[in-house]
Structure 1
Amino acid sequence: MTQDQRPGVLLDVDGTLLDTNYLQVLAWWQAFRDTGHEDVSMADCHRAIGIASEELVHHLIGDDAPDAEEVSEAKDRRYEPLRELVAAFPRVDELLTACRERGLAVVLATSGEDSDLEWMVPAIGGEDVVDGSTTSADVESAKPAPDLLRTAAEQHGLDPDRTVAVGDTVWDVRAARAAGFPCIALTCGGISRQELLEEGADEVYDDPADLLAHLDGSLVGKVARG
């Protein structure tokens, strides 16, 4: 760690801090149907949540899909009215505060757009405790590529040897492993503990409240202690 680097935690937002994954699934499923892709199921959409929008479309209907942008735009339209239903998972604000109190920089690393932060940060109650954020707009390739997490750590001066990534999907875990960060996974996004462990998660908890309850014994507590 150089003198100006600090330990930190890189947090995914959708499905990790905000209970949005199933709203995202509904919006994507509707968008695929709106654009003539009725063969894409809700289960397919759920398995792909965590991938950035354009990459998600290509993942589900092929790299040569000519209407990927159209599908993404349809998804944005479908998701807009669902945003009023978005809620943070219980005790998210307390978790972020606890990380800050232990000397960690709290950084959001989301595959969402910059504009999403305008409502995401207030929704998680993070206005006073989030040190910064990095979105898909800051990188060429978002999750599951490692670029988002690496860029977030660099932008916010985090010590790569004392930084932990927290997410809820196999794509979050893959990104963390590729970026060289230990990874805590949460099952509140709908992916099973076994799948997350098999993908390479170092620790798995139920949700933010469960992680908070075990914080000092977790990897977060470990990097905080140095």
Structure 2
Amino acid sequence: MTAAPRPGVLFDVDGTLLDTNYLQTLAWWRAFRDTGHPEVSMAACHRAIGIASAGLVEHLLGDDVPDGEAITGAKDERYEPLRELVVAFPGVEDLLAACRERDLAVVLATSGEESDLEWMVPAIGGEDVVDGATTSGDVATAKPAPDLLQTAADSHGLDRGRTVAVGDTVWDVRAARDAGMPCIALTCGGISRAELEEAGADEVYDDPADLLAHLDDSLIGRVARG
């Protein structure tokens, strides 16, 4: 007998649970310069964080970039030594545990690669309460397309009508909107409340600790109560 779909929360990782957006920005900026694209600014890199690697390069340089693989390879090289600086935002582990305590499935939905989970999950903490993860490798088109969120919900047996997406960029918000899911956005990734609300976020909080402090009054709390 197939289990009934569960209510749940889909958490983005970079900039939402882990304080990585500016490290990612620095790595991408260096990678573009390494490969002969000094015209790409740090500001442009920051505003593209949240798009999967190949899409990010196309977003900033246009379609049919001949050295796209070289750029993403250079980014990986530049980012690797920065990983030792990665920390979780305050309150992350408690937030994940609080969602589980309310009988919600906790699933990570990241535009990163599957191999990134090897360092992401330990950095996040709360391994005992995370039900699983979906990465860009599980879909043909990653964020801002809705595929990642839809696949994450379906592959983990979640009820799309009672699943909340949590992210930190306009790309996360657009993906959730197109997936037909309510979205909570956090400003800790460096994107303003106004931009996140304009993109369609249903609720905006400062960071995981702020969301935790208001959890029962949030969309997550309402989903948990049914």
What TM-score do the two structures reach when normalised by structure 2? 0.99
Deviations 1:66-110 (A, max 9, x none): 011110000000000000000000010000000000000000000
Q: Which aligned runs of 4 or more in structure 1 are off by greater than 6 angstroms?
A: none
* Deviation of 1:202 (Å): 0.1
* SS of 1:65 mapped into structure 2: coil
The secondary structure found in structure 2 opposite 1:39 is coil
Find the counterpart in structure 2 of residue 126 from structure 1.
Answer: 126
| Alignment-derived partner of residue 219 in structure 1 | 219
- Residue 111 of structure 1 pairs with residue 100 of structure 2: no
3-state SS of paired residue (1:57): helix
Q: 2:149 is matched with which residue?
A: 149
Paired positions, count:
225
Per-residue CA distance 1:53-78 (angstroms, 9 max, x = gap):
00000000111210111100000000
Residue 196 of structure 2 corresponds to residue 196 of structure 1? yes
Displacement of 1:177 after TM fit?
A: 0.2
- How far does residue 145 in structure 1 lie from its aligned partner after superposition? 0.2
Q: What is the rounded CA distance, in whole Å, between the counterparts of 1:217 and 1:88 in structure 2?
A: 24
Distance in 2 between the 1:3 and 1:79 partners? 41
In the alignment, which residue of structure 2 is the partner of 1:21?
A: 21
Equivalent residue for 2:181?
A: 181
Mapped to 1, the partners of 2:44 and 2:195 lie a distance apart of 16
SS of residue in 1 equivalent to 2:166: strand
The DSSP-based 3-state class of the residue aligned with 2:195 is: helix
Partner SS state of residue 141, structure 2: coil
1:97 aligns with 2:78: no
Helix, strand or coil: the match of 2:165?
strand
Question: CA shift at 1:3, angstroms?
Answer: 4.9
Q: State the partner residue of 2:45.
A: 45
Q: Work out the CA distance in 1 between the residues paired with 2:163 and 2:66.
A: 39
Report the identity percentage.
80
Unaligned runs of 5+ in 2: none
The TM-score, its normalising length taken from structure 1, stands at 0.99
What runs of 5+ residues in structure 1 fail to find an aligned partner? none
